[in-house]
Amino acid sequence: MKSAIARTLTTLLHGALRGLLRAWVLVVPLVLALSLVRLGQLAYFWPSGYQASGADLTAVVIQGLRFDLKVSAIAGFVLLLLLPWVSGKVQARIAGVVAFVFVMASLVNLHYFGFYKTPIDSLVFGLVEDDTAAVLETIWRDFPVIWTLLLAAALTWAAIALHRGLVQRLQPDTLLQTRHAMTKVLVAVLVLFAMLFAGKGTLRQMALQRQHLTVTTSQFLNDMVPNGIIALKYAWDSRGQSQNLSDPLVGLKAMGFESPQAAAQALGLPMGSDEEVKAALYQHDPLPMGTAKKNLVFFLMESWSAEPMLYQSPQFDVLGRLAPTLTDPSKVCHFRNFDSAHAGTHPSLEAILFSTPITPLTLGDVGRKPIPWALAKVVKDAGYQTLFVTSARSGWRDLNRVLKVQGFDEVVDANTLKEAYPEATLGIWGVWDSYVFKYLSKRMAAQPTDKPLFVFVLTSTNHPPYDLPADYQRVPRDMGLWKGETNSETLIPNLDSYHYAADLLGGFVQEVQSGPLKDTTIIAGTGDHNVRSFGVYAEASRRYLVRQVPFVIWGSKLHCGNQLDQPASHRDMFNTLLPLAGIDAPYINAGRNLLKPLSAQPDPVNAPRAMFFTGEARNAQGMWQLGNKASFVCSSAKPPAAQCEFNALDDQQERARYGLLDWHVRISLKK
């Protein structure tokens, strides 16, 4: 009995080891074949007269090789279900099929780039959604199908030949047959972990993702990084994430309204027709005659939570140079009861730029076409030069493509900043935020006075793992002054990176306020979302903090009004900033103007409430999920004067606002 068990275990061990070694023997020719296609693609599409540095070319080749290794290792790992148990002849056939699929996908990617000037994206699925016969006929007429198939066959044959040679030389089936069992176990474990790390694409950093396709400032070179398999994978992801906008009433019905007219009625808006309701979403107070346009610089600060600011003091410094900029009410309006739109960077970014509760909105086909009410487009049409600056890689979530389509004249990212400042180091998320502020100072000083500038800045350093530059001087703090939760082991590192980012922003604000642009520039900043380091906010008394981020406006001769402590959220920011900057344009009224004094009379459209775009709302008493009375939680920085309870009218009006914003996106973008 024991000998039978031992024989079975030995057989399984031999099979596992044989499969792992066979998988690695398969990975090598796949990687080489994909890399050859990439080099051929670079040569085939190299623009006439185009110059690129050796460093950029090396970065593209190395990053491409890493993605090739990633997809090949994943294929080998999946095939472990078969490779240990099949014969050598079947193993060779499997290798041939996989090699052909990988090579053919990359050759398709090559031709796709030649047609669309982009790697394979979600449009590729038009092959089955459009007139398939017509598409295939067009491909047959316009592309070298025969030559492509012949090249695929030649590369596949070469991969098979290399695979056969490796099998004969390394003999994965018998290499360790006579070795000790413990040696076999050790080798199996090492080879397995090597396969896993290869599939991850890195040893110590995060796994290779879409954002890592951006390695240079050249879009052409970046487009050479993905092989056909990874491009197809990301295209599939985008397709799955894109929303079905065919039914414009989906969101309204989810909020309890059968039509946009019913929702408009709840808000006291005109409701004669769909067109009248839609027009009402764009109505706003006209600006006084002769209002001059000002530069508008907006910061979306990574993980810039509101809670640390509650405890700011000389003994607990989390703001650095930002602290003194928050004291003069004629120069700053600090909204202290403010929520983000989402719990993630990209959803908040989309909510701000496109006033959409639907996310992801722009990862598919929608992002490839101009959205008429996109913030940057509206401001650009008003006569501004528009600039997006980030310390991250703009290849993340396809921002490098989407933002230029949606109204930004320029997109400056980590690779641009690395080129401008060679001493900058590229980390997990990009370069240190300091290079953003260096770039902005130089750029704004050179801006022509007759062309107002709109800058949207996205920072990245205040993000896990909370790494900071080697020369950053950490600030000692009395942690006894921290009144929040202390469970997170990353609390102190997070406070350090928070201070780093806030201090840089404060330095920039001080520079502008003491310079020639002080009277012609509005600066604003908010956080994209709260962070888990500062707690889970399970206690009802602290629950109001769960979504809170700062919202601060700096300018000259400001009149902040009576809403600084009223509930507000991301949807209100540009309804406030655009009039302040002198921009009279057809922007959507996603929220209210926070500098406009609250009316003594009830006003559904301008009521002091906050909205979280996953379907939650908050008033001065507490917070709740829209349409769910039982979810209401009494939670407020100050005990409410009135009895704390669910307000059905508040809920109805917020459901109407949410439903109309959803409807507006769907009806406007419906195909």
The pLDDT assigned to 4 comes to: 55
The pLDDT assigned to 205 comes to: 64
Mean pLDDT check: name the lowest of 42-51, 199-208, 211-220. 199-208
The pLDDT assigned to 221 comes to: 86
The pLDDT assigned to 613 comes to: 94
Give the residue with greater pLDDT, 71 vs 296: 296
Q: Looking at residue 80, what DSSP letter applies?
A: G
The pLDDT assigned to 464 comes to: 82
Q: b or e along 507-539 (b: 16 or more beta carbons within 10 Å of the residue's beta carbon)? A: bbbebbbeeebeebbbbbbbbbbbbebbbebee
Cα atoms found within 13 Å of the Cα of residue 361, Cβ hemisphere only = 26
Give the residue with greater pLDDT, 275 vs 187: 275
Question: Could you tell me where the DSSP H helices lie in 1-53?
Answer: 2-45
- Smallest CA-to-CA distance from 250 within 612, 659, 615 is with 659
The pLDDT assigned to 86 comes to: 67
Give the residue with greater pLDDT, 639 vs 399: 399
The pLDDT assigned to 194 comes to: 61
Is the confidence at residue 79, as pLDDT, over 90? no
The pLDDT assigned to 500 comes to: 97
Q: How far apart are CA 385 and CA 379, in angstroms?
A: 8
Top mean pLDDT of 81-85, 524-528, 630-634 is at 524-528
Number of residues that this document lists for the chain? 671
The pLDDT assigned to 329 comes to: 95
Kindly report, residue by residue over 326-364, the tens digit of the pLDDT: 999 999 999 999 999 998 899 899 999 999 999 888 887
CB of 37 closer than 8 Å to CB of 67: no
The pLDDT assigned to 290 comes to: 80
Is the confidence at residue 386, as pLDDT, over 80? yes
Is the confidence at residue 519, as pLDDT, over 50? yes
The pLDDT assigned to 141 comes to: 67
The pLDDT assigned to 13 comes to: 47
Q: How far apart are CA 567 and CA 226, in angstroms?
A: 45
Mean pLDDT check: name the lowest of 79-88, 123-132, 620-629. 123-132
Q: Look over the chain and give the mean of its residue pLDDT values, rounded to a whole number.
A: 87
Is the preceding peptide bond at 465 cis, omega within 30 degrees of 0? Answer: yes
Q: Which amino acid is at 416?
A: T
Cα atoms found within 13 Å of the Cα of residue 512, Cβ hemisphere only = 29
- Smallest CA-to-CA distance from 636 within 657, 608, 658, 613 is with 608
Q: Are strands 622-625 and 616-618 parallel, antiparallel or unpaired?
A: antiparallel
The pLDDT assigned to 356 comes to: 95
E-assigned strands of 302-409?
332-335, 338-339, 385-390
CB of 388 closer than 8 Å to CB of 458: yes
Alpha-carbon torsion, ordered 439, 442, 446, 447, to 10 deg? 50
Mean pLDDT check: name the lowest of 55-69, 71-85, 128-142, 604-618. 128-142
Q: What percent of the chain has pLDDT over 70?
A: 86
The confidence band for 528, taking pLDDT boundaries of 50, 70 and 90, is very high
The pLDDT assigned to 84 comes to: 64
Is the confidence at residue 131, as pLDDT, over 50? no
Kindly report, residue by residue over 90-118, the tens digit of the pLDDT: 777 888 888 899 999 999 988 888 766 77
The pLDDT assigned to 303 comes to: 94
**For residues 162-189, average pLDDT:** 62
Go through the domains of the chain in sequence order and give each one's CATH number.
2-241 (no CATH), 281-464+480-539+548-591 (3.40.720.10)
Mean pLDDT check: name the lowest of 216-230, 278-292, 435-449, 620-634. 216-230
Q: How far apart are CA 115 and CA 113, in angstroms?
A: 5
Give the residue with greater pLDDT, 320 vs 346: 320
**For residues 433-442, average pLDDT:** 97
Is the confidence at residue 492, as pLDDT, over 60? yes
Mean pLDDT check: name the lowest of 129-133, 165-169, 198-202, 633-637. 129-133
Give the residue with greater pLDDT, 498 vs 146: 498
Is the confidence at residue 560, as pLDDT, over 80? yes
The confidence band for 130, taking pLDDT boundaries of 50, 70 and 90, is very low
